Amino acid sequence: APDTVKQALFDHQALFEKYPPTGGYPELKEAIGNWIEKRYGVKLDPASQILPTNGSREALFALTQVLIDPTQDPVVVMPNPFYQIYEGAAKLAGAQPYFCPMTAETGFKPDYSSIPEDVLKRTQLLFVCSPNNPTGTVLSLEDWRKLFDLSDKHGFVIGSDECYSEIYFDEDN
């Protein structure tokens, strides 16, 4: 497969001369939608629910600018250590970053129960990275359920950075 990808890139190199449409190519969005359905069993509408970006960093940054309402003293919660774009995006959107430590004591996962109530009340966006960079930790279904409950209770959006979703043990299965 890697050779096929390389060959396809080579055969279509002339297309690199121009920018894609801002909303992405419909055929690419369709292909992404098919992959998501095959991988996660979720059917999305490619036209309104999928937006191709130049790397996940662009998507993480843009999402933050769109979601944050800077007039409401907002907080963006992120794991620590973390990939820097979460912090930069939060600051540029006018939000205060809140770092949720991942240490040996917390099993290298963010311990959301340690976040003070007044911070949760102000939280508009919470970044999750699973599998995590740099700890490699993967959240369990139970972790996700707790997070969904927290998001429902406080009305924040979960920004799920899944750029490493295809790296896992036992890749043959």
Ligand X SMILES: Cc1ncc(COP(=O)(O)O)c(C=O)c1O
Residues in touch with ligand X (CB under 6 A): 55-57, 83, 129, 133, 161, 163
Min separation Cβ 163 and ligand X, Å = 5
Q: Which residue is nearest to ligand X (CB)?
A: 55
**CB-CB neighbours of 102 under 10 Å:** 21
Residue spans of beta strands (DSSP E) within 11-165:
75-80, 96-101, 123-129, 157-161
Q: How far apart are CA 52 and CA 58, in angstroms?
A: 10
Pick 80 or 133: Cβ nearer ligand X: 133
Q: How far apart are CA 42 and CA 141, in angstroms?
A: 17
Pick 68 or 85: Cβ nearer ligand X: 85
Min separation Cβ 77 and ligand X, Å = 15
Q: Which residue has the tokens 């009340």?
A: 121
Pick 109 or 161: Cβ nearer ligand X: 161
- Residue 158's nearest CA partner among 144, 168, 172, 173 is 144
The DSSP code sequence of 83-111 is -THHHHHHHHTT-EEEEEE--GGGTTS--
Min separation Cβ 53 and ligand X, Å = 8
Min separation Cβ 80 and ligand X, Å = 13
CA dist list (Å): 48 to 13, 18, 23, 51, 129:
29, 24, 10, 8, 24
R_g over Cα of the chain: 18
Pick 52 or 94: Cβ nearer ligand X: 52
Pick 33 or 161: Cβ nearer ligand X: 161
Min separation Cβ 59 and ligand X, Å = 8
